[in-house]
Chains A and B, each alone.
Chain A
Amino acid sequence: MSLEIEIGFTLNGVARRAKVPVGMSALTMLREVCGLTGTKYGCGEGECGACTIRVDGKTLASCLMFAADCDGRAIVTIEGMAGDPRGQALQRAFVEHGAVQCGFCTPGMVMQAAELLARDAHPDAAAAKRAIEGNLCRCTGYQKIVDGICAAAQALDKEHAR
């Protein structure tokens, strides 16, 4: 329990170090050590997607990752989306298209959707649904989240065209 390890990683573009218990999850580290509470605890078992972060370009459930394994990696959280064009487009589209209700799943949804848009600039509704199938939402019934993802892709297209 008390055994700690010191790690170094990039968090939202800023290099930092942290001393963490070896058993601590990346989720707990982000929330309690780094003070970034945008990443949410929904289940602790990788089943709900509320804690989705980006690690070296890939999304994963931070509740299932050891904090110690962040060593040497580039971590991006929802707070880091403020500087990410895809993240910004998604956040705007989520707001405009009613994809946010209680908002608890929203950060994870935005992270997951940003990864989709990095892979596929023109996802259709089916692709958007598949991308977020590991992210649970109890409020919206998903349709408006799917609308938001597709609208963000279109908005990014328009920006590129300019």
Chain B
Amino acid sequence: MTLIGQRIPKIDAPEKAAGKTRYVHDIDLPGQLHAAILRSARVHARLVRIDATRARALPGVHAVITAADVPDQRPIGVAKDHLPLKRDRVRSTRDEIAAVAAESEAIAREALALIEVEYEDLPVLTDAVAALEPGAPLVHPPIAGSKAGAPVGVAGKSDNIAMRFDYGHGDVAQGEADSDVVVEDTFALHYVTHCCMGVSGVIAEFDAKGNLLLYSNTQVPFLHKREFAEYLGMDPGRVRIIQPPIGGGFGSKLDIYPFEVIAVFLARATGRPVKLVFTREEEFLASPTRQPVHLTLRSGCTKDGRLTFRSVRTIHDNGAYTSWGATTPFVMMQTFSSLYRVPHCDYHTVAVYTHNPYAGSFRGYGNLQATFAIEQHMDQMAEAIGMDPLEFRLKNAQEVGEVTGQGMVFRSCGFKECLTLAAERSGYTAKRRAYAADREHDRDARFKRGIGIAAMLHVGGGAKIYPSDGCGTILKLDDFGHVTLITGASEIGQGSETVLAQLVCEELGLPISAVTVVNNDTDITPWDVGVHASRTTFIAGNSALGAARKAKAKILAAAAPRFDAQADDLDLSGGCVVRKGSGERLTDLPRLLRSLHFNDRAELVMTTFYYEPPSVHQDKGYKGDVSAAYAWAAQVVEVEVDTATGIVRMLQVTGAHDVGRVLNRLGLEGQIEGGIVMGQGYALTENLDVVDGRIRNPNFRDYKLVTAPEIPAMDISFIETMDGEGPQGAKGVGEAPAICIAAATANAIANATGVRITSLPFTPERVYRALRGALPPTQPVPLAALPEKAAA
């Protein structure tokens, strides 16, 4: 029996359901101290004086550190633009000013309250457009006397532009000339945050030889190892990272954050293990957000429904420091350029420093924002030319073999099948017409139903961003036929270790119980770039498969002469070496392994494999086939709008996903359902309320996650396109299900009410106002405010 496509429970689930799993919060080391961080009380201010005398004198306090105590600090982050402990100036309310290590968390927090800080307020800049204007205050003003070429954190910057991207293919002016219909709209996407159920935490310890051990929640242990070494001026070989099970990731743990470096500073200062765990409020205040986006989209098509061009301008509020949020245009431009066949496309964007919270990477990585705009425009254009939105999409949808303007090559592509199946199973076409008719017949009905479709494209075979997009595996078979699968790929709850175990067992003809997965210690596991870009099943899966195939070849080669057979005629099945075809059992695997081990030419079956996908780095114009495979999906959302209150209920989501091949049906459904509900939160309930640089709702009372009674009915189908490069044909799918929901909901609300809302979230207040024409329109991205090159 094959394991592929079965419903395999997660290997780590029994322990988690029993409450026995030890997350970082649950680990205590002998002699451990507890740390807490003092953050800025102001949005933007000069630090005039910090006095920690009273805090240092509190019994139980081992160390209080400020920037002055760590003169060797180096700037951290994607743009190396901030110090873990801020010096001279704070630029946002999350800014770290001082930190305490004490006998207990309670003492550490008590000590924080005793630190006196004198601020001198400076002008606050919380509008990204205003931050681009000439004469705007600078978030990182140039520092006199710094070396040329030094990073922003050392040298400052003469403008507020953190990052910019300029993309184009074809000739947009030509595309516009070819158009019968041109639509332009501006979209505003809000702040949301990951809300991992397990708050951020770390334990840092130096051993007697000065080696650093970190118990970390990171999703990128090997990148972390190298960066920590750089920040601390250490040899990376002396940094070891252990990842205890992680209480949720979703992209939030792809960057190094100040709290982690601060814990290391405190461990160094005290010579003791130091544990630092956030409170939930701190998690809201000091975690990254999804990138907020201000987006103007201009699209065109012909009367007969061919897309002619697409032109996009976005401004991204970068916050005070640069994390991965600033790089989301990498992914956004894939949707602009390549979700549909569009002959002419350009995209110009800047990420702008302000004093707001900073944005990181979050499941979907800009694609929810891009899809929100693109998929509303697809409906709007279809309407403008009087074509059914499904037919319009099918007419422009990518197919197998397509090479897009951005250079992506679609070797497997179930896009049209996704659209057709999601539409069929939801009754999209008939319902859309019926709901539109209802809307016209009974304009005063309080409750109105609507249905909307949206589709997405996302990387499904890794993303070649770093020098390598690979993953290593070490496979060890013991004398009893038990397998230890040592992989660089981290488990963050998504079920990677179960899928990897399945792939290995399938190859070796063993039950899933025959595998132990080791995946959480950089001193043991081989290199992996990290859990991001929906890549683990594909990349780590191919790596595990490669190692298993080598092991199988070795076993069969050893068995063949003993049974007077060719290795090609043998197979592994049910824990035995068997003859292919007849299935005759020749020997059980443990016996064979022992006979290899305990003889004159003693040998163990241990293999290694490093998988590097056949993708390429993009060129300077962001063109290139960056992923080894691409995932597709279409989702249909059905809603009921209470026009009297503005409340939108999500009734049903019908999703069709091109996943390449189903490996673990149970795990796959779980990823899709979880993504749908995360998308529902983005669309309807979640809103990190940032006013004048301050987060107004840092708690679950006021930041509304979707709760169980609110979830829609979910109907999920899988399209198996059997990707030629994917492990057993599979493609990555982790981010995909969250991407379309907000866009499809917008289209459903428009179908229900005739009103199109271009800003999120669809809270009752926003919808109520929109239905009454009282929602202030979102101002277009001011092209003049974009710097010359970008505006050209």
- Chain B residue nearest to A144 (CB atoms) is B670
0/1 string, B217-258, CB within 8 A of A gives 1: 000000000000000000000000000011111100000000
Q: How far is the CA of A94 from the CA of B494 in the complex (A)?
A: 15
Number of interface residues of B (CB under 8 A): 56
A-contacting residues, B1-23, CB 8 Å = 7, 9-10, 12-23
Number of interface residues of A (CB under 8 A): 56
Q: How far is the CA of A132 from the CA of B706 in the complex (A)?
A: 12
Q: Is the interface of A mostly helix, strand, loop or mixed?
A: loop
Q: Which residues of A contact B16 (CB under 8 A)?
A: 100, 102-103, 106
> Per a CB cutoff under 8 Å, which of B9, B247, B493, B700 touches A47?
B700
> Per a CB cutoff under 8 Å, which of B9, B22, B493, B675 touches A102?
B493
Inter-chain contact B699/A101, CB cutoff 8 Å:
no
Q: Which residues of A contact B13 (CB under 8 A)?
A: 94-95, 98, 100, 103
A137 to chain B, nearest CB (A): 7
Query: B438 at the A/B interface (Cβ < 8 Å)?
Result: no
Q: How far is the CA of A43 from the CA of B144 in the complex (A)?
A: 44
> Per a CB cutoff under 8 Å, which of A90, A96, A103, A134 touches B9?
A96
- Chain B residue nearest to A107 (CB atoms) is B19
> Per a CB cutoff under 8 Å, which of A1, A81, A126, A139 touches B106?
A1
Q: Which residues of A contact B676 (CB under 8 A)?
A: 141
Query: A123 at the A/B interface (Cβ < 8 Å)?
Result: no
Query: B571 at the A/B interface (Cβ < 8 Å)?
Result: no
Inter-chain contact B674/A45, CB cutoff 8 Å:
no
Q: Which residues of A contact B15 (CB under 8 A)?
A: 103
Q: Which residues of B contact A107 (CB under 8 A)?
A: 17, 19
B-contacting residues, A46-98, CB 8 Å = 47-48, 50, 77-79, 81-82, 90-91, 94-98
B599 to chain A, nearest CB (A): 41
Inter-chain contact A47/B250, CB cutoff 8 Å:
no
Inter-chain contact B674/A100, CB cutoff 8 Å:
no
Inter-chain contact B247/A37, CB cutoff 8 Å:
no
Query: B582 at the A/B interface (Cβ < 8 Å)?
Result: no
0/1 string, B698-734, CB within 8 A of A gives 1: 0111000101110100100000000000000000000
0/1 string, B662-678, CB within 8 A of A gives 1: 00001101100111111
> Per a CB cutoff under 8 Å, which of A106, A128, A140 touches B674?
A140
Q: Which residues of A contact B701 (CB under 8 A)?
A: 45, 47
Q: How far is the CA of A50 from the CA of B280 in the complex (A)?
A: 12
Inter-chain contact B700/A45, CB cutoff 8 Å:
yes
Inter-chain contact A43/B711, CB cutoff 8 Å:
no
Given the known interface contacts A82-B18, A101-B495, the answer about A129 and B711 at a Cβ–Cβ threshold of 8 Å is yes
Q: How far is the CA of A145 from the CA of B677 in the complex (A)?
A: 13
Q: Which residues of B contact A82 (CB under 8 A)?
A: 18
> Per a CB cutoff under 8 Å, which of B670, B699, B700, B709 touches A129?
B709
> Per a CB cutoff under 8 Å, which of B7, B12, B707 touches A136?
B707
Inter-chain contact B25/A41, CB cutoff 8 Å:
yes
Query: A8 at the A/B interface (Cβ < 8 Å)?
Result: no
Given the known interface contacts A1-B110, A143-B673, the answer about A133 and B708 at a Cβ–Cβ threshold of 8 Å is yes
> Per a CB cutoff under 8 Å, which of B20, B23, B248 touches A138?
B248
Q: How far is the CA of A146 from the CA of B196 in the complex (A)?
A: 20
B35 to chain A, nearest CB (A): 16
B-contacting residues, A15-48, CB 8 Å = 31, 36-45, 47-48
Inter-chain contact B110/A101, CB cutoff 8 Å:
no
Q: How far is the CA of A36 from the CA of B20 in the complex (A)?
A: 9
0/1 string, A120-136, CB within 8 A of B gives 1: 00000010111011111
Q: Which residues of B contact A91 (CB under 8 A)?
A: 14, 17-18
Given the known interface contacts A78-B19, A94-B17, the answer about A42 and B673 at a Cβ–Cβ threshold of 8 Å is no
Inter-chain contact B709/A130, CB cutoff 8 Å:
yes
Q: Which residues of B contact A47 (CB under 8 A)?
A: 699-701
Q: How far is the CA of A126 from the CA of B710 in the complex (A)?
A: 10
> Per a CB cutoff under 8 Å, which of B17, B245, B280, B494 touches A43?
B280
> Per a CB cutoff under 8 Å, which of A39, A45, A106, A134 touches B17?
A106
- Chain B residue nearest to A47 (CB atoms) is B700
- Chain B residue nearest to A91 (CB atoms) is B17
Q: Which residues of B contact A132 (CB under 8 A)?
A: 708
Given the known interface contacts A101-B495, A138-B705, the answer about A50 and B197 at a Cβ–Cβ threshold of 8 Å is yes
Query: A151 at the A/B interface (Cβ < 8 Å)?
Result: no
9 tightest A-B CB contacts, nearest first: A38-B19, A103-B16, A102-B493, A78-B19, A141-B677, A104-B247, A47-B700, A37-B26, A141-B673
- Which residues of A are at the interface with B, using a C-beta cutoff of 8 A? 1, 31, 36-45, 47-48, 50, 77-79, 81-82, 90-91, 94-107, 110, 126, 128-130, 132-146
15 new A-B contacts, CB < 8 A, other than A103-B12, A138-B705, A141-B675, are A37-B25, A82-B18, A98-B10, A98-B667, A98-B670, A101-B674, A102-B248, A103-B15, A103-B493, A104-B197, A138-B195, A139-B493, A139-B674, A140-B673, A146-B708
- Which residues of B are at the interface with A, using a C-beta cutoff of 8 A? 7, 9-10, 12-23, 25-26, 106, 110, 194-199, 245-250, 279-280, 492-495, 666-667, 669-670, 673-678, 699-701, 705, 707-709, 711, 714
Between A and B, 29 residue pairs with Cβ closer than 8 Å are A1-B106, A37-B25, A38-B20, A39-B19, A42-B197, A44-B280, A47-B701, A48-B280, A78-B18, A78-B19, A94-B17, A95-B10, A95-B17, A96-B9, A98-B10, A98-B667, A102-B197, A102-B198, A103-B12, A103-B17, A104-B196, A104-B198, A130-B708, A132-B708, A136-B195, A141-B674, A142-B708, A143-B714, A144-B669
